[in-house]
Amino acid sequence: MRNILLTMTYDGSKFHGWQIQNNAVSVQEVFQKALFQVLGKPADIKGCSRTDSGVHANMYCVSFHTDHRIPVERIAPAVNNYLPPSIAVLSAKEVPMDFHARYSCKGKEYIYKIWNSEIRNPFLHGYALHYWYQLDLDAMNEAGSHLIGCHDFTSFCTLDNREKGDFHRTIKEFNICRKDEMVVLTVEADGFLYNMVRIIVGTMLYVSKGKIAPGDIPEIIKAENRKKAGPTAPPEGLYLNRVFY
Amino acid sequence: MRNILLTMTYDGSKFHGWQIQNNAVSVQEVFQKALFQVLGKPADIKGCSRTDSGVHANMYCVSFHTDHRIPVERIAPAVNNYLPPSIAVLSAKEVPMDFHARYSCKGKEYIYKIWNSEIRNPFLHGYALHYWYQLDLDAMNEAGSHLIGCHDFTSFCTLDNREKGDFHRTIKEFNICRKDEMVVLTVEADGFLYNMVRIIVGTMLYVSKGKIAPGDIPEIIKAENRKKAGPTAPPEGLYLNRVFY
């Protein structure tokens, strides 16, 4: 038996999220079928996170145990052979048997892309949020600085049966920068609650609009109340960008 | 009566080229319908060029006469209202009555994107050619330098009933550069023959492979024979990038 860690990337606009579900095509389902073609039997795949419908991954990790003897450097090209163009395996390596793509994860980085222009960009439909009004990056960065550190992020979490227990997470990095019309928000944390990045983005858009002041953020965190933060931004701008082990 | 010049951009992967045809959705058809919604009657639209199925436009120009009194600055947002996300009008301006988007054009610039990596990029499927083997940019740039100037480009033209008369064109600029895995070829000319850029790209790929030497290019031009040049590269990497008047 070996434990294999695969790194992949996928265009989330073509899928209903990572996780297998009825009546909708998920990345996991398509990936599992391709892996089955290579290994000749089903593998129990551990994904590094559940990404929502329409969310993209520049980097996504999965691990699985196998007794197949395929050389590790052959795995990526072999699996890619059976995958559609919307998913690509970037690399594969052997890891210790107790490694788990989700539980061994030490942190993740997400980016959120915003096309900030009065005119839409046809090439970014489904790949960035189109936002008409000029964004106030200074205010957004000031607001974001209050998110850094270890906090209870209940106010930035969609409550459903997914989230149990501790709502503390540590945000290590936060910044928003612009290159011409493209604004990119980057946030790194030891872990993320359900919809956390999208609610952070929605809150930042409220900050830019003046509906929330940058100095209100500590109070919003302290409230531990989802209603105090801004709306959940749409999924199409969100990319899982890096996974740390 | 006024003559209006519109600048637009479109994602060619969603269309069967610019020109109206039976049984396939063209950019022109979709654009004409949107413009009809705004003007209340059909307009005779002149497009700056015929782009093939799957070819993109970062900039594409159309002109049309109208007696409608809509202020010129309202035209772009009004037409965008009726267009799908894959097409966007960037701007509109009034031009002299004898201006014609195609015949008044003094030159065009195309770019061709190549994803040069062993691993495909899911986000570039339909938006760049995926080319596995390491490209030899020095050889390609040397070969391309022989294309610059005024030549009969019969060898770089698909012969059909579209092309008549003079096959001389003047290439003003040619370069190929790389940023990480992305290789971009840029070519500017006073005009282009049918499939000319795609045949130039196919020829450059042959140069990189060593099937054609950079020094062979003058001979290939002189032959005035399509069979002497390389194959026609696929459309997905091609973008009409700039139109000069």
Q: Report in angstroms the alpha-carbon separations of B82 from A106, B11, B59, B69.
A: 47, 16, 19, 19
B85-110 in b/e burial notation, b at 16+ Cβ within 10 A? ebbbbbebeebeeeeebeebbebbbb
> Rounded to whole angstroms, how far apart are CA atoms B73 and B70?
8
B85 and A125: CB-CB below 8 Å? yes
Residue keyed to tokens 């307009």: B43
Same topology for domains A2-95 and A107-244, yes or no?
yes
Q: Which one, of B195, B207, B200, lies nearest residue B235 by Cα?
A: B195
A127 and B123: CB-CB below 8 Å? yes
Q: Is the pTM of this model over 0.90?
A: yes
Q: How much is the pLDDT for B114?
A: 98
Chain center to CA of A61: 11
Catalytic positions of A: 52
Q: Report in angstroms the alpha-carbon separations of A11 from A84, A109, A150, B164.
A: 10, 17, 31, 43
- Express each pLDDT in A128-154 by its tens digit: 999 999 999 999 999 999 999 999 999
Q: Which of B121, B132, B181, B241 is the best mutation test for A, with the most CBs of A within 10 A?
A: B121
A88 and B122: CB-CB below 8 Å? yes
Min Cα–Cα distance to chain A from B125, Å: 6
Q: How much is the pLDDT for A23?
A: 83
Residues of B in contact with A88 (CB under 8 A): 119-122
Chain center to CA of B119: 27
Domain positions in chain A: 2-95, 107-244
Bridge partner residues of B188 (DSSP) = B109, B173
Residues of B in contact with A87 (CB under 8 A): 122
Q: Which one, of B146, B154, B157, lies nearest residue B214 by Cα?
A: B146
Q: Are strands B238-244 and B56-66 parallel, antiparallel or unpaired?
A: parallel
Q: How many CB atoms lie within 10 A of CB A228?
A: 18
> Rounded to whole angstroms, how far apart are CA atoms B174 and B192?
13
Torsion of CA B138, B139, B141, B142, to 10 degrees: 110
A119 and B86: CB-CB below 8 Å? no
Decide which of 3.30.1280.10, 1.25.40.10, 3.40.50.720, 3.30.70.580 is the CATH code for A2-95. Answer: 3.30.70.580
Any A CB within 8 A of B78 CB: no
Q: How much is the pLDDT for B3?
A: 98
- Grouped pLDDT means (10 residues each) for chain A, 245 residues: 97 93 91 96 94 95 97 97 97 97 97 97 98 97 98 92 81 97 98 96 98 98 96 97 98
Any A CB within 8 A of B11 CB: yes
Min Cα–Cα distance to chain B from A81, Å: 11
ipTM surpassing 0.85 = yes
- Grouped pLDDT means (10 residues each) for chain B, 245 residues: 97 93 91 96 94 95 96 97 97 97 97 97 98 97 98 92 81 97 98 96 98 98 96 97 98
Any A CB within 8 A of B13 CB: no
Residues of A in contact with B80 (CB under 8 A): 119-120
B85 and A11: CB-CB below 8 Å? no
B11 and A125: CB-CB below 8 Å? yes
Any B CB within 8 A of A88 CB: yes
Q: Which of B8, B30, B60, B125 is the best mutation test for A, with the most CBs of A within 10 A?
A: B125
> Given B86, B88, B119, which is nearest A90 (Cβ)?
B119
Contacts from B214-217 at CB under 8 Å and sequence distance 24+?
B214/B139, B214/B140, B214/B142, B214/B143, B214/B146, B215/B146, B216/B143, B217/B143, B217/B146, B217/B147
Residues of B in contact with A121 (CB under 8 A): 9, 88
Catalytic positions of B: 52
Q: Phi and psi dihedrals of A129, rounded to 5?
A: -75, 130
Residue keyed to tokens 């019969």: B154
Q: How much is the pLDDT for A21?
A: 84
Any A CB within 8 A of B88 CB: yes
Residue keyed to tokens 């054009």: B105
A8 close to A60: Cβ distance less than 8 angstroms: yes
Fold of A107-244: Alpha-Beta Plaits (3.30.70)
| A190 backbone φψ class: left, alpha, beta (φ>0; ψ -120 to 50) | alpha
